[in-house]
């Protein structure tokens, strides 16, 4: 089945079985390997992407779900002004450890800051609660998002 959608700012068409998992479409058909499979059941958030601007887990979405919709992956978000700042802040506080879940955190944090940009610890914890990390205990992840919010404000990026 021909699936037409917007991927990272470009209109694309891909011919895949309609029920092919979105994560597999992204990784296998488009070579976008920044989207990671951690659990395959929508629990861990490592495969998070933005679908029409909202974070979803691509391992429990199918190709048909994205027809005529807008998909943005970590590769694209990382190159935006906000994405670059976010990554720099995560890197500055050494929030990353194994890094497998972090593309997912970048997507979730990007969405939070885009929508909210308030350095509110409780809200950040809630916004990131769909992303599981086994290495960091989340402490530095939250620090990094707080720092990004602060810099967004300082730089008048909103």
Instruction: List interacting residues with other proteins (CB under 8 A).
Output: 32-41, 43-44, 46, 73-75, 78, 83, 87, 90-103, 106, 124-126, 128-142
Sheet holding 10-15, edge to edge: 10-15, 2-7, 70-72, 48-51, 54-57
Nearest approach in angstroms of CB 60 to other proteins is 11
In the complex with other proteins, which residue's Cβ is closer, 70 or 123? 123
Nearest approach in angstroms of CB 135 to other proteins is 5
- 22-31's contacts with Cβ under 8 Å and 24+ in sequence apart are 22/49, 22/58, 22/59, 22/61, 22/62, 22/63, 22/65, 22/66, 22/71, 23/47, 23/58, 23/59, 23/61, 25/63, 25/66, 26/58, 26/71, 26/73
In the complex with other proteins, which residue's Cβ is closer, 40 or 114? 40
Q: How many CB atoms lie within 10 A of CB 88?
A: 13
Q: How far apart are CA 9 and CA 54, in angstroms?
A: 15
In the complex with other proteins, which residue's Cβ is closer, 4 or 98? 98
Nearest approach in angstroms of CB 25 to other proteins is 13
In the complex with other proteins, which residue's Cβ is closer, 33 or 68? 33
In the complex with other proteins, which residue's Cβ is closer, 74 or 82? 74
Nearest approach in angstroms of CB 129 to other proteins is 4
Nearest approach in angstroms of CB 95 to other proteins is 8
């Amino acid at each position: 089945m021909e699936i037409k959608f917007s991927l990272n700012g470009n209109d694309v068409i891909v011919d895949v079985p309609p029920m092919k998992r979105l994560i597999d479409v992204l990784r296998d058909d488009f070579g976008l390997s920044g989207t990671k499979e951690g659990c395959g059941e929508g629990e861990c958030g490592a495969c998070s992407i933005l679908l029409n601007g909202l974070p979803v887990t691509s391992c429990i979405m199918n190709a048909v779900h994205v027809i005529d919709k807008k998909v943005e992956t970590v590769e694209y978000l990382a190159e935006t002004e906000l994405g670059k700042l976010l990554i720099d802040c995560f890197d500055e506080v050494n929030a990353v450890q194994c890094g497998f879940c972090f593309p997912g955190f970048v997507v979730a944090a990007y969405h939070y800051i885009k929508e909210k940009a308030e350095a509110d610890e409780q809200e950040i914890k809630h916004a990131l609660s769909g992303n599981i990390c086994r290495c960091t205990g989340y402490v530095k992840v939250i620090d990094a998002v707080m720092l990004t919010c602060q810099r967004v404000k300082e730089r008048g990026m909103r």
